[in-house]
Structure 1
Amino acid sequence: MDTEPTLPPSITRLEKLLGGAHDGALLRYALGNEWLKAGHPSQAAEYLRQSLALDPSASAAWKLLGKALSANGEIPAAIEAFTQGITAATSHGDIQAVKEMTVFLRRLHRGSPSA
């Protein structure tokens, strides 16, 4: 029997906003971030993918998706997320995000999942 994880209050509050006037890429990103902080990378990745479906240019969401996938052991998918994130960040001139994701990508290519 699968039990529901105990949700931090921040996740409960944010999930109440789903489907409402404030629903969108930013809300989905925030939920992904909170789920990742709570130690649930697969749930985080689900929300981050939803965020990116709404705004594929969001380099922060790509970076967090890569981290969530890496934490979940999905290394090829994490590499792809960081690669797409670098492309998105480059197109917006977000140099810091490019640098961070490049470091995470290098670590994954070297076999260290701690992106």
Structure 2
Amino acid sequence: MNPKQIEALSAMLAKGQDNALLRFGLGQALLGNEQAADAVPHLQAAVAHDPNYSAAWKLLGKALAASGDAQAAMDAYQRGITVAEAKGDLQAVKEMQVFLKRLQRELPPAPQAGR
């Protein structure tokens, strides 16, 4: 997405239009413009508007991971998987499971207790 699309969506938000689809679109545009940290609050707002929006959970996880917050990204993917399973959105479930596993492999192992 280009900056004009971000500007147009931001203008809609500034005029008081605020819903899950607008926030998703703005988050997607920002993420596509390599502004992951700026995308996160919009995607968080999208899932706040509609907690059953599995595509928004998936994109939120991606934005959080790109912003360097692996734990929050994993939490978003886990929540998104639950939502997508409940809706029968099997493709979204598969995609988020792959992204989740990648993040889990990248994390350092947890320290062992008592050692």
2:23 counterpart of 1:23: no
Aligned to 1:100: 95
How many aligned residue pairs are there? Answer: 106
SS in 2 for 1:18: helix
Separation (CA, whole Å) in 1 of partners of 2:83 and 2:69 = 21
Separation (CA, whole Å) in 2 of partners of 1:102 and 1:56 = 18
Q: Which runs of 4+ in 1 moved over 2 A?
A: 19-23
Q: Per-residue displacement from partner, 1:55-92 (whole Å, max 9, x unpaired)? A: 01000000000000000110000000000000000010
Separation (CA, whole Å) in 2 of partners of 1:21 and 1:90 = 33
Aligned to 1:3: none
SS in 2 for 1:39: coil
Give the TM-score of the pair, scaled to structure 1: 0.87
SS in 1 for 2:51: coil
Aligned CA-pair RMSD: 1.5
Give the TM-score of the pair, scaled to structure 2: 0.87
TM-aligned CA deviation for residue 23 of structure 1? 2.7
2:68 counterpart of 1:73: yes
2:10 counterpart of 1:8: no
Aligned to 2:113: none
Separation (CA, whole Å) in 1 of partners of 2:62 and 2:20 = 18
Identity of aligned residues (%): 48
Gaps of 5+ in 2: 108-115
Which is higher, the Rg of structure 1 or of structure 2?
2
